Amino acid sequence: MIRSLFAAVVLACAFALPAAAQAPKLPPNVDPQNTIIMETTKGPVIFVLRPDIAPKHAERIKTLAREGFYNNVPFHRVIEGFMAQTGDGQYGNGTGGSRYPDLPAEFSKVPYTRGTVGMARASSPNSANSQFFITFGDASFLNGQYTVIGQVVSGMENVDKLKRGEPVQNPDKIISMKVAADK
């Protein structure tokens, strides 16, 4: 009797898990070795990295994700109609980077459209480190000036829900960020 009651409670709890606690399903035809699963305070976001056009930047994102660098990092700069920026695991305010050296630019002809993931940098083209951004729409004025590292393939509606600001007050965060192959 107690065992069957316990089993019923466990089963009921398993079906009552919130969506954020369940692993998001990968879209078909994505390479798990180059796919990032980012759990945010607004829900999951999945993006595919582009090592074909930005191999050093893609490798950096994977390395930092595997180290847990992006866990609990805020979206410190979110500009309506433009982009959401995150990735400062050092200070959380857009002024920091990782323990690794800055990366040389890997510019391409891939355009900045809705859901494009690009590397943030300072004024020098060779200053990208750990921070990245996701565009809300057309940002073609960035074409050829910032390294494109990937494309959101699932969860763009969650990026749209991020709190806006420059800086953001009480910002949304990356809860965890992992390479899909590592799950």
Across 133-168, b (16+ Cβ under 10 Å) vs e yields bbbbeebeebbeebbbbbbbbbbbebbeebeeeeeb
In what helix (H) or strand (E) does residue 59 lie, and over which residues does it extend?
helix 55-66
Q: What pLDDT is stored for residue 25 in this prediction?
A: 87
Instruction: Tell me, yes or no, if the pTM score tops 0.75.
Output: yes
Q: What is the pLDDT along the chain (183 residues), one digit of tens a residue?
A: 444 444 444 444 444 444 445 668 888 899 999 999 999 999 999 999 999 999 999 999 999 999 999 999 999 999 999 999 999 999 999 999 999 999 999 999 999 999 999 999 999 999 999 999 999 999 999 999 999 999 999 999 999 999 999 999 999 999 999 999 997
Chain-wide mean pLDDT for the chain?
91
Handedness of CA 80, 84, 85, 86 (dihedral sign): positive
- Please write the tens of the pLDDT for every residue from 105-148: 999 999 999 999 999 999 999 999 999 999 999 999 999 999 99
Q: Domain 27-182 belongs to what topology?
A: Cyclophilin (2.40.100)
